[in-house]
Amino acid sequence: DQQVKQNSPSLSVQEGRISILNCDYTNSMFDYFLWYKKYPAEGPTFLISISSIKDKNEDGRFTVFLNKSAKHLSLHIVPSQPGDSAVYFCAAYTPNTGNQFYFGTGTSLTVIP
C-alpha cells in the first residue's frame, strides 16, 4: 500500500520555464517531508525539506509547498536548467510509523535546452 504517491512518472519542461513536481500522501501523521534528486548510476541526494508546521520552504531556485488539508506537496524549480534533468523522489516521515521515510516512486524530469 503506497503511502506516498507521485502520479506523474515523467515531465518535460523547456529550459528557463517552471518545473512543478507533485506528490500526494495518505497518512495524515506524516510531519516531515523531503525531496531528493537522483542522477543515473548515483545515489539520491537531498534537495529540500519542509516541516508540517510550514506551508512553504525556499532554497534558491527550489521551493516546496505543503498543503496539509489536501495531503499534497509540490516542488517548484524556477528557472529550470538542463542540469536539473534527473529523477525526483519525495519522501515523508513520522516517528509513529516504523521510524522510516516512505518514498514515492519518482518523477523523471527532462529539461529541454
Instruction: Candidates 41, 53, 83, 113: give the one binding other proteins (CB under 8 A).
Output: 41
Instruction: Candidates 45, 54, 58, 81: give the one binding other proteins (CB under 8 A).
Output: 45
Residue 95 near other proteins by CB under 8 A: yes
Number of H helices, E strands in the chain: 0, 11
Q: How far is the CB of 95 from other proteins (least distance, A)?
A: 6
All three cell numbers of 76: 517548484
The site for other proteins, by CB under 8 A, has a size of 25
Residue 27 near other proteins by CB under 8 A: no
For cell 515523508, name the residue.
Answer: 92
87 in Cβ contact with 47 (< 8 Å) = no
Residue 27 to residues 4, 17, 31, 81, Cα–Cα distance (Å): 8, 32, 10, 33
Would you give the binding string for other proteins spanning residues 55-84, x where CB under 8 A is met? Answer: ------------------------------
Residue 62 to residues 85, 86, 96, Cα–Cα distance (Å): 14, 14, 29
Binding site for other proteins (CB under 8 A): 2, 4, 6, 32, 34, 36, 41-46, 49, 89, 91, 93, 95, 98-101, 103-106
